[in-house]
Amino acid sequence: VTAVLLSYRAFDTWLEVVVILAAVMAVLVVTQRADVWDVSAPREPHPLQARYVHLLAPLLVVVGIYLVAQSTSTVGGAFQGAAVLAGAALLVWLSGDSSPRGLRFDLSTALASAAHLTFLAVAVLTAVAGRPLAYRGDVATAVIVAVEVTVTVSVAVSLALVSLGARASWEED
């Protein structure tokens, strides 16, 4: 799967990452505000929920990282891992006790665009070398892993931004 996504059809994957980036910007356009990280959870969490999320969130982070890590040899991958990581972040946010407020707007938008910029850099470098998006055998693994990790980070941050942004625009009304 990783070979299909990041080698044979790398151009598709690159553009899909950009579509997600465009979706993040679309949500921010509708929200029209930079403080999406400061919105509070819809309601006070049940104490049991908070305790449960305390147990669950670290597990989810491990599962997310595992999904990305094992994709070098079997099914899994950046998109699935990122979805789990974003889900963990949202659970923590919903349980109310620690929202990711430390993540500033500019930093989060930079992280959301990191995968696009990585793809762009790879495309420019390989094009300059004469064969666009073709990685040399000796660096192929390193390039693919680097791209996969940035895609994970960007997609996870993007999904969280989209969810919180949607919440922020309701709060406004």
Site residues (vs another protein, CB under 8 A): 7-12, 15-16, 18-19, 21-23, 25-26, 28-34, 105-106, 131-135
Closest to another protein by CB, 12 vs 44, is 12
Query: Which value, in Å, is the radius of gyration of the alpha carbons in the chain?
Result: 18
Label residue 96 exposed, middle or buried (CB < 10 Å: 0-12, 13-18, 19+).
middle
Q: How far apart are CA 151 and CA 130, in angstroms?
A: 25
Least distance (Å) between residue 36 CB and another protein: 9
Closest to another protein by CB, 10 vs 67, is 10
Least distance (Å) between residue 130 CB and another protein: 10
Least distance (Å) between residue 50 CB and another protein: 31
Q: How far apart are CA 126 and CA 137, in angstroms?
A: 13
By C-alpha distance, which of 87, 93, 79, 115 is closest to 1?
79
Q: What is the DSSP letter of 99?
A: -
Q: How far apart are CA 64 and CA 82, in angstroms?
A: 7
Least distance (Å) between residue 38 CB and another protein: 13
Closest to another protein by CB, 23 vs 90, is 23
Closest to another protein by CB, 33 vs 100, is 33
